[in-house]
Amino acid sequence: MATMAITRRDRSLVTTTTTDRALLRGFLERDRLFAAYAICDLQEREFPRTRWAVAHDDDDLIAVGLEYSGMTPQPLFLMGRNDGLEAILRDELGPRVAYMAARSEALPAVQALYRVEPAPPMVRMWVDRSTFRPFPADVERLGEGDIGDLNRLYQLGFATWLAPSAVGDGVYFGVRAGGKLIAAAGTHVISAQARLAVVGNVLTHVEHRGRGYATAAAGAVTAELLRHCDQVVLNVRSDNPPAIQAYRRLGYAEHVRFEERLVHRIGAPWSGFVTSIRRLFATRKENATR
């Protein structure tokens, strides 16, 4: 049974935390492609790792916030009306440091409580069976036994080391040259119930870029996902036109440009320290083409 936490009231606005997945799903489906990560986080496997809050204006649900648990900084997803989002961040969800994803028009609500680091907008792209265009290439399905090769390719720091279960539970394809894994693509989240999935971890080794390898791997992942999903989405930086064009060749189209920023709670201690640690041990992964 869904539970509701203590509510807080500000004029006609009421905020509360909730575990009512039907309520959350109904709101998120208003923009299914933008809310794809959050919808997938409603599945049984991911939901225990999340904390959700909502804002109502009288009887109308106007905003939803999602905070993913784990090491700081973790994802913070926001969707809805700005007054509701600001109330949620003020009264219900207050991470000191987070990776915030929200539409650009939500920035004023976030900036009321957080210092927002600069970053280029992100592009949410999507594809379905009717628009997908396969990219014929020599790729292979990767499994848990390939985790060492994947982590060497991604060059991840220990704090974000990809676990074997991430490959076993997801869909990963790669390209090898001389027995060495030189390109790969995989999944962030998949929801069988929502028939929705998110492609991610797309990378080509720097010495092999510009030859279509990552496009081939991403295409193979997409093809496999579309066997069971109605839509597949991914994110790409807006300042990476070659990657955007590579995904367009697979049939992906732009849905929306949005903000994905590192945010620091105003007045919160240790945020600068956390950022330094993050930068020391985590290597930024670019969507490399192809």
Q: In the 8-state DSSP scheme, what is residue 128? A: -
> What pLDDT is stored for residue 137 in this prediction?
87
Cβ-based neighbours of 179, under 8 Å, separated by 6 or more: none
| Mean local confidence (pLDDT), 18-22 | 98
Q: In the 8-state DSSP scheme, what is residue 163? A: P
Return the higher-pLDDT residue of 6 and 44. 44
Is 3.40.630.30 the CATH classification of the domain at 126-257?
A: yes
Residue 9 has pLDDT above 60, yes or no: no
Return the higher-pLDDT residue of 79 and 163. 79
Residue 135 has pLDDT above 80, yes or no: yes
Contact criterion met (CB below 8 Å) for 101 and 80: no
- Tell me the C-alpha distance between 196 and 198, whole Å: 7
Return the higher-pLDDT residue of 134 and 275. 134
> What pLDDT is stored for residue 217 in this prediction?
96
Condensed to tens digits (0 to 9), the pLDDT of residues 252-265 reads: 999 999 999 999 99
- Tell me the C-alpha distance between 261 and 264, whole Å: 10
| Mean local confidence (pLDDT), 106-134 | 97
- Tell me the C-alpha distance between 158 and 173, whole Å: 23
Percent of the chain with pLDDT over 70: 86
Give pTM, 2 decimals: 0.85
Backbone φ, ψ for residue 234 (5° rounding): -155, 165
Angular region, 279: left φ>0, alpha ψ -120 to 50, beta rest: alpha
> What pLDDT is stored for residue 290 in this prediction?
47
Task: Count CA within 13 A, CB hemisphere, residue 196.
Answer: 21
| Mean local confidence (pLDDT), 1-19 | 69
Same fold, 8-116 and 126-257: yes
Tell me the pLDDT band of 206, cut-offs 50, 70 and 90: confident
Residue 159 tokens read as 């704090």
Mean pLDDT is highest, among 2-11, 85-94, 150-159, for 85-94
> What pLDDT is stored for residue 154 in this prediction?
87
Domain boundaries, the chain: 8-116, 126-257
Condensed to tens digits (0 to 9), the pLDDT of residues 187-203 reads: 999 999 999 999 999 99
Task: Count CA within 13 A, CB hemisphere, residue 266.
Answer: 9
- Tell me the C-alpha distance between 173 and 245, whole Å: 20
Residue 231 tokens read as 């839509």
Condensed to tens digits (0 to 9), the pLDDT of residues 211-269 reads: 999 999 999 999 999 999 999 999 999 999 999 999 999 999 999 999 999 999 998 65
Contact criterion met (CB below 8 Å) for 175 and 288: no
> Angle, to 10 degrees, between the axis of helix 213-225 and the axis of helix 241-249?
50
Contact criterion met (CB below 8 Å) for 80 and 57: no
CATH number of 8-116: 3.40.630.30
